[in-house]
Amino acid sequence: MNAGPRLRQATNTDAGQIRALVFAVLEEYGLEPDPDSTDADLDDIEQSYFASGGAFYVLEAADDSIIGAYGLYRVASDTCELRKMYLRRDQRGRGYGKHLLDDALARAKELGFARVTLETASVLKEAIALYERYGFVPYQGDHLSPRCDQAYVLALG
């Protein structure tokens, strides 16, 4: 019997696979990867996420390929931003997005965050529907990354 994908903490050795996943999903939706700015956090995951008290996890298939990911980036003492939550196209519709979001929210609570924010693009309709089912509500962010036109926030209970 095949074991399903496993969630594990990412390391810098995963950066190439994570970047490939993120960029492939962005391009699939007609969004521009931005390796020099918005996506520069993928160059050093450990410094970008762990050093500030955040987290980064990958969903790994049985063949060790990375099929999904998410990051929690500290933006204030009580707030983190959900970043880089992507799932490979051939793995969607299997409940893995829900699994990633469940884990991200539980981990955010464990890390002591009271709020989770995120930025997204309107074309990511499936992701937005998932966020809204979890209770994320639109808000005016301080600034949006160039490819994002929406911001959401969730108070953790």
Could you tell me the pTM of the whole model? 0.94
CATH number, domain with residue 105 = 3.40.630.30
Can you give the pLDDT at residue 2? 57
124-149 residue pLDDT tens: 999 999 999 999 999 987 777 889 99
Residue 151 belongs to a domain: no
Residue 120 belongs to a domain: no
Residue 124 belongs to a domain: no
Residue 102 belongs to a domain: yes
Residue 21 belongs to a domain: yes
Residue 133 belongs to a domain: no
- For the chain, how many structural domains are there in total? 1
Structure tokens at 157: 């209970």
2-57 residue pLDDT tens: 578 999 999 999 999 999 999 999 999 999 999 999 999 999 999 999 999 999 99
Q: What are phi and psi of 141, to 5 degrees?
A: -75, 160
Cβ atoms of 134 and 101 within 8 Å: the answer is yes
Containing structural domain, residue 98? 6-114
